[in-house]
Structure 1
Amino acid sequence: MTENHLPAAIQNFIEATNRGDSDAFVAAFTEDAYLNDWGREFHGHQGVRAWNRTDNIGVRSHFELVSAEPGTTPGSYTVTLTVTGDGFNGTGPMNFELRGGRIASLRIS
């Protein structure tokens, strides 16, 4: 799966991060979104916004797509990104579950 074939919500997640657009980043998620970053849990738009501030745009993260594959259930994807910035730097998978054209769940491990 190439960047041009990513679901819009995941593409928006990447592009909003790279532009530093926190409002667009949060808008990529459902109102009741669940985000799990190595066991740290965040819920809803408020939780996503908090994570974004401390672990993503707030530390000037930049994403480069390495690969994207459909998951084992409808609407699920495993996306491998290389992350650079003033926080985590490295390459690893992110597991997305989409619902209604937005991100309902994101697990980073």
Structure 2
Amino acid sequence: MDAAVQAAIDAANNNDPAAFLACFTEDGVVDDWGREFRGPELIGQWSDNEFIGKQVSLDVTEVDTRDGETMVTAQVGGNGFNGPSHFSFTVDGDKVSRMTIRA
């Protein structure tokens, strides 16, 4: 798994919002089922309300890398959404430029 993707997953599992935000490029995007949050302020607000703020846990069950994207299947736990989910990550250099979440 790409180091930037692993860092983002580790930060989420450690419930560390600062480390999670540090994984993204300055203009990074989280696309959560079609709702886009761009930049550290909006990603941070989203995460506080729906991701790390809900004590998310990601139990990775599958990783596939193709066409410059890393697709991660994970069982999501915590105090928000629970269940299987798919995350796709685009990396720019050593940071995540886009994280897309789908069922």
- Given the two structures, how large is their TM-score scaled by the length of structure 2? 0.94
User: CA separation in 1, counterparts of 2:84 and 2:100?
Assistant: 14
Number of the residue aligned with 1:86: 79
Structure 1 segments (4+ residues) deviating >4 Å = none
TM-score normalised by length of structure 1: 0.89
Q: Distance in 1 between matches of 2:73 and 2:82?
A: 13
Of 12, 16, 21 in structure 2, the residue corresponding to residue 17 of structure 1 is: 12
Runs of at least 5 residues in structure 1 that lack an aligned partner in the other structure: 1-5
**When you count strand as a share of all residues, which structure comes out higher?**
2
Are residues 1:61 and 2:78 paired?
A: no
2:25 maps to 30
Aligned-pair Cα RMSD in Å: 0.9
Identity percentage of aligned residues:
34
Q: Does 1:102 align with 2:95?
A: yes
* 3-state SS of paired residue (1:48): helix
Q: Give the count of matched residue pairs.
A: 102
